Amino acid sequence: MNGSSEVSLVALGGLGEFGRNVLWLSCGDSNVVVDAGVSFPDEAFPGIDRIAPDLSPLRSVRIDAVLLTHGHEDHVGSLPLLSEWCEAPVYSLPFTAALARRRLEEAGLAIERLVEVRRGQTLRAGAFAFTFFRVSHSVPDSAAILIEAGGWRLLHSGDFKLDPDPPDGETTDVEGIAQAAAAGIDLALIDSTNAERPGRALSERIAGAGLAAAFADAPGRIVLTTFSSHVARISQAADAAMAQGRRVAILGRSMRTIAEIAERFGRLRIAARIAPPELADAAPSRVLCLMGGSQGEPFSALYRLSLDEHADLKLKPGDLVLFSARTIPGHERSVNRVTDHLVRRGARVLREADPPIHVSGHAHRDDIADWLALVKPRSVLPVHGEARMLAAAAEIAREHGVPAESVPLVDNGDRLTLSASGMRIERRAVATGKIFLDSRPEMVDLEVVRDRRRLAEEGFVVVLVHDREIAVVSRGVARDETELSGEVSRAAREVLDRATAEERADAEWLRAEIALVAKRACRREFGIRPVIVPVIV
C-alpha cells in the first residue's frame, strides 16, 4: 500500500444483499458517495414499492460529490431521497444523467446539480479526483470509475460485463482501463452479481438472435416485456420485428419515457411505429408491443393486459408473450401469477428459450478473472451482491494471486480503511437501515420519525376485505369516521363489483387496486392523505 493519508469506505447498502447500492468514501473531511440505489421488495413487504438504504449517516458530513456508475434503479433510485437535503454535484455519463434527471423531476427536485461527464475526463471534488470509463452492461453509458484520494487509487467496476461485440457498440473500454491501471490500483471494487456463474456472460447479440428465432414462428401479435432501461434489448427486439414487417408499439409510461430519451441520444431508432390506439385495427401478424412489467408489477402495462384491462390491446389466442428479462429473486410468485393470467387469455408465454431470449448484463467468473488480469489490483473488495456472490468473487481474486489478506469481505456499515500500515476493518462502525417507499408519485419514507409525524397528522385507514365483505377501520383521521368509512367502503365495493372472478382471486391485484381507490376517495372527499392499509383475507 502506498497512500499518503487514509481513505475509508463504508457501504450503506449493496453488500450481502441485492440492490440498493450506496458506497461512502472519505478522505480527511472530504466525502464522496458512489451510487444511490433502491431495491425491489418481494411480497413480504405488502404495499411497499421500493426499499432505500438509510442515508442519514451522510447527513453529518460534508459531501463533495455524488458519482453514479449507471442509471439502473439499484444505483440511482434513492438519488431523490439523498437530493432532498444533499446539494453536492452529481457526476455521471450523459445517459445516466438523463435517467437521473427524470427521477429528480418526478420528485420535484432541482436538476441543476446534475453534471454530465465525458469518458476519460478527470474531475476533482474536495480531496477526490475521479475518471469515468465505459463498461458494457445492460443500459447505455455504464461506467467504471477510477477514484483517487490521499495518494490511493481505487477502481470501481460498476456493473459490467465484457461483451467484445455488443450490438450497440457499448464495449468495455479495455484500453482506457489498462492505461489507468498501469499507474497501479490499490483496491479494485468488483461487481460480484454473477461471480457464482461459470464461464463468460453471453453477448447481447445472442439475445437478439434468440428473439428473432422466437418471432419467426409467431403467427399472431408479439408482446415483449423487459426492463424499460434495457435500450439494447428494446432496439434488437424492434429490429427483429421490423425485419418481419411488423410495426412497433411502446406501451406504458416508464418504457415510453426511456425510449424517448434513448431516441434523443441516438441509441434507439424505430422506423416503423404504431400508435397504441391503432393496435385494435392492426393485423395481429404485423405488430410488436413492447412494455414493462417483467417482474409482475401490479400497476404495469403487462399486468393490465394479462387481466384483459388494457385500453389499447386485447390478447387473443395465438398471441405470443416473451419475458426477455431475468426474474429478480423474490419476484418469482408475481411473475408466475401474471404468466397464469396471460395463459388464461390464450397467449403462448415464452420465458426461457433456446437460443436464449435473455442474457445477463453481469460478468461471469472468467470475465471477472479477465478484469482482474487487466486491472492487476493490490487488493480486491467484492461489491454488489448477496454474501455467497461476494464470497465467490473473493475466491476468484485469491485464485488469481491476490493474497487472501488483501481480499476483505465486508458488510453494510463496516468501515474499511486503507492506511500506510495496511488495511483495517472496523465492523459495524456505522448504523445502517432501510427506508420503505410506497407507490405514490412522491416519496414517502416510513422511517420511524416521519412515519409517526404522518400518522399523527393524517392517521391511517385499514380496509379489510373478506370475500365480498368490506370493513373499514380508521384511527387518527380528523374526519367523521362513519362518513369516511362509508366513502372508502363504497370505493372498495366498486372495485369488487367490477373485478372479474380471476381478479378477485388475485390478492396482490386487489390490494393494489383497493389502496389506490381508497387513497383517491380520501383525497377527493376529505382532502386528506392517510396511510392506507388494505388487508385481503
Binding residues for Zn ion, rule: CB under 5 A, are: 72, 74, 159
What DSSP line would sit under 110-175, residue for residue? --TTEEE--TT-EEEETTEEEEEEE-B-SSTT-EEEEEEETTEEEEE--S-B--SS-TT-----HH
CB-based contact 281:247 (threshold 8 Å): no
Query: Which set of grid coordinates corresponds to residue 396?
Result: 476468484
The least CB distance from residue 513 to Zn ion, in Å, is: 31
Nearer to Zn ion, 384 or 415 (CB): 384
> How far is 405 from 416, CA to CA, in rounded Å?
13
The least CB distance from residue 138 to Zn ion, in Å, is: 6
Give the other-Cβ count within 10 Å of 64's Cβ.
Answer: 19
Nearer to Zn ion, 218 or 389 (CB): 389
The least CB distance from residue 210 to Zn ion, in Å, is: 21
Nearer to Zn ion, 72 or 345 (CB): 72
Nearer to Zn ion, 383 or 522 (CB): 383
> How far is 281 from 294, CA to CA, in rounded Å?
26
Sign of the Cα torsion 62, 66, 67, 72 reads positive
Strands (DSSP E) contained in 388-439 are: 415-419, 422-426, 434-437
3-state secondary structure 208-275: HHHHHHHHHCCCCCEEEECCCCCHHHHHHHHHHHHHCCCEEEEECHHHHHHHHHHHHCCCCCCCCECC
Nearer to Zn ion, 99 or 180 (CB): 99
Query: Which set of grid coordinates corresponds to residue 501?
Result: 372472478
> How far is 14 from 2, CA to CA, in rounded Å?
28
The least CB distance from residue 226 to Zn ion, in Å, is: 14
The least CB distance from residue 103 to Zn ion, in Å, is: 15
The least CB distance from residue 347 to Zn ion, in Å, is: 29
The least CB distance from residue 159 to Zn ion, in Å, is: 4
Nearer to Zn ion, 387 or 533 (CB): 387
Nearer to Zn ion, 74 or 506 (CB): 74
